[in-house]
Structure 1
Amino acid sequence: MSTVYDAVIVGAGPAGASCAVWLSLLGYKPVVLDKASVVGGLSALNPFQDVWNVTAPDLTGEEVSLQIQKSLEAAKVPVLLKQTVTSIQRVEHAESEFPLFKVFFGENNALMGKNVVLASGVKHKRPPQMPAGKYYPEILLGPGKHVYMHDFIMKKVAVLGGGDNALENAVYALDRGVKQIDIFARTLRAQKKWLSIINPEHLHIGDYNFNPEEMTVNGEHYDTVMVFYGYEPQLDGIASLNLALMETGHIWTDQRTAQTSVPGIYAIGEVANRMHPCVVTSMADGVVAAKAIQASLEAP
């Protein structure tokens, strides 16, 4: 029989890496798949210091990702990058005492595991006016390195969204020489911290019309549009499992074990939205799943 892993982990961000490292150190055999070219998930796209991470306040998200890579290497966890999971199927196997799962990825490739851990994270929500797959060079979708690298000097900028990311990045753009900035939000959800910095004249609360083809908001043209509509879970390749989902679209899990509605399938980190989403809570989720898998594998 081909190699059967104790857990096939989909996602090499803080949650998936934490689970993999713990399982390896506990004496089990995990493997990690990720469609990205580097480990770290969204952290790998963050060029700013993550001061919320109390163990590494001086490190940027990119540097945190390098530490994640070191941890995976030290724990001797195999990681397959640039691999997109296409489907996951439960299979019966005469040579195994456990029900097995077959995780298909790439072109006709598959791995076998006693458990599957979904740590695929989230992606930025696109405005409905922007077709999937179409690139708009002056529309910045969500926070990250693309904002850090953008030239804002003397640009007329529109910010869409009323949460923390929207206002924090508006402040970032203001500090980098914009000519004009307008923030459009149907409702304001941001912390008072950001609201105290933003001039109320820049805020436009209520419905608005966005046209990405003409780069206009309410008919007014902008040089750059920054969109912060939040995140949605990445659920590609798991439709065949028929997992229970929450009203938000995230994967439902048992709070104690991180197990989904299908025994042997776990979901951790932001794809399950189990706790306030950040690097630290995602890593904690990985530990929860690893210990639950250990308990299931060691059960008499």
Structure 2
Amino acid sequence: MDNRLIPITKTVDALVIGGGPAGSSCALWLHKLGVDTLLVEAGDRLGGLQRRSPYENLWIPGVMGQTGEQVAEALHAHIVAAGVPHLLQTRIGNIRPTAEGYEVTFGTTRVLTKHLIVATGTKPNAGPFQPSDCVVIGPGHPMENLPVDNRKIAILGGGDNAFDQARFVLQRGAKSVTIFSRTTPRAQALLQASVPEVRVIVGPYTADPARLTVNGDRFDGFGVMYGFMASVPEGLNITNENGYVEVNRDGETSRPQVWACGEVTDYWHPCVTTAAAHGIQVAKQISRRLARTPATIPS
């Protein structure tokens, strides 16, 4: 559809794409700093990947005892209570540069914004696999829904999530768990030590999801833990060689007035707390930039 046929329905100073910890924190701070802001999220609730996690998040200071889902729900409730303008179940269509900023379409809505913030986070890397009743991609609820009682389960990957999920699968009554890692496992030593009963096979392997075999050995289910990959809106061309969004110290990308924050940038040590902090830092930079150039986009 030609964007010119869609009337401009909103003009803002900042449009934040993605409602996880980074995007929600960025939008919250922009809103409280007096910046006309709109937050858009593809899902039906805010909270990002924390919505997938039924496990207690032991790494966030001050929220001891709360699961990832509860952290996500608290984030959603905060945005609503603070009155931050936001749209749910909204997928971005076209993004086009204008003289003053960017034109963004989603559905029958066209928004003009001076600053565009990409906070779309990451998604589990599926590799060559497709999810099915017996093949699960990534940690959290998908793995919890995999039948494991008295079954042989193969975990593919050698990171933290591989060993974490192996532990949870054993706790749920699996007959055995085997981790296949092509290289020396990179998971934390404490996580590896927590599952001494798990067999770890290091080296090349061939996994057949149709037959549920790895190197010819038959299993009852696969857990694919190949880490995460950035979810980047199409058409921006702001990624590095690893597929993540490249940003400078301020959080601005190679395209003027396009910013990014959180795990989509692979910025230092990705987690909930660093993502939220990065979103706040970007909000402060945008607020300062607007204070120096206060003119708004003409409607």
TM-score, structure 1 as length reference:
0.91
Letter matched to residue 221 of structure 2: T
**Structure 2 residue aligned with 1:96:** none
* Equivalent residues of 2:48, 2:121 under 8 A apart: yes
Say if 2:92 is the partner of 1:85.
Answer: yes
Q: Which of the residues 45, 50, 66 maps onto 1:43?
A: 50
Q: Which of the residues 134, 137, 141 maps onto 1:141?
A: 137
What is the DSSP-based 3-state SS (H/G/I as helix, E as strand, rest coil) of the residue aligned with 2:244? coil
Moved more, 215-224 or 195-204: 195-204
Shift in alpha-carbon separation, 1:201–1:116, aligned structure 2, 3 A: closer
**Structure 1 residue aligned with 2:116:** 116
Moved more, 1-10 or 180-189: 1-10
What is the DSSP-based 3-state SS (H/G/I as helix, E as strand, rest coil) of the residue aligned with 1:3? strand
What is the DSSP-based 3-state SS (H/G/I as helix, E as strand, rest coil) of the residue aligned with 2:38? strand
Q: Deviations over 1:210-244 (max 9, x none)?
A: 1112211111221111010001100133x2x332x
Q: Which of the residues 203, 216, 219 maps onto 1:206?
A: 203
Task: Give the CA RMSD over aligned residues.
Answer: 1.5
- In 2: Cα distance, 1:135 partner to 1:196 partner: 29
**Structure 1 residue aligned with 2:20:** 13
Q: Deviations over 1:187-213 (max 9, x none)?
A: 110111022233376011000001112
Shift of 1:67: 1.1
**Structure 2 residue aligned with 1:259:** 252
- In 2: Cα distance, 1:298 partner to 1:49 partner: 41
**Structure 2 residue aligned with 1:68:** 75
Q: Deviations over 1:2-41 (max 9, x none)?
A: 5311111100000000000001111111111111111100
Letter matched to residue 259 of structure 2: Y
What is the DSSP-based 3-state SS (H/G/I as helix, E as strand, rest coil) of the residue aligned with 2:289? helix
Q: Which of the residues 222, 243, 248 maps onto 2:242?
A: 248
What is the DSSP-based 3-state SS (H/G/I as helix, E as strand, rest coil) of the residue aligned with 2:94? strand
- In 1: Cα distance, 2:102 partner to 2:181 partner: 44
Say if 2:278 is the partner of 1:278.
Answer: no
What is the DSSP-based 3-state SS (H/G/I as helix, E as strand, rest coil) of the residue aligned with 2:279? helix
**Structure 1 residue aligned with 2:3:** none
What is the DSSP-based 3-state SS (H/G/I as helix, E as strand, rest coil) of the residue aligned with 2:93? strand
Letter matched to residue 136 of structure 1: S
**Structure 2 residue aligned with 1:95:** none
Identity over aligned pairs, percent: 33
TM-score, structure 2 as length reference:
0.91
Q: What are structure 2's unaligned runs of at least 5 residues? A: 1-7, 294-299
Letter matched to residue 29 of structure 2: W
**Structure 2 residue aligned with 1:3:** 10
What is the DSSP-based 3-state SS (H/G/I as helix, E as strand, rest coil) of the residue aligned with 1:113? strand
What is the DSSP-based 3-state SS (H/G/I as helix, E as strand, rest coil) of the residue aligned with 1:271? helix
**Structure 1 residue aligned with 2:5:** none
Shift in alpha-carbon separation, 1:211–1:294, aligned structure 2, 3 A: same
Q: What are structure 1's unaligned runs of at least 5 residues? A: 93-98
What does 1:148-227 align with in structure 2 at a 5 Å threshold?
Answer: 148-187=144-183, 188-199=185-196, 202-227=199-224
* Equivalent residues of 2:21, 2:276 under 8 A apart: yes
Letter matched to residue 169 of structure 1: Q
Q: Deviations over 1:140-167 (max 9, x none)?
A: 1111112233332101100100111101
**Structure 2 residue aligned with 1:101:** 102
Moved more, 23-32 or 9-18: 23-32
Shift in alpha-carbon separation, 1:102–1:86, aligned structure 2, 3 A: same
Shift in alpha-carbon separation, 1:156–1:201, aligned structure 2, 3 A: closer
Letter matched to residue 274 of structure 2: T
After the TM superposition, which segments of 4 or more aligned residues of structure 1 sit over 4 Å from their partners?
Answer: none
* Equivalent residues of 2:153, 2:220 under 8 A apart: yes
Moved more, 115-124 or 200-209: 200-209
- In 2: Cα distance, 1:4 partner to 1:108 partner: 15
* Equivalent residues of 2:12, 2:114 under 8 A apart: yes
* Equivalent residues of 2:155, 2:177 under 8 A apart: yes
* Equivalent residues of 2:177, 2:198 under 8 A apart: no
**Structure 1 residue aligned with 2:230:** 233
Q: Deviations over 1:111-169 (max 9, x none)?
A: 221111000000111122x2xxx541111111111223333210110010011110111
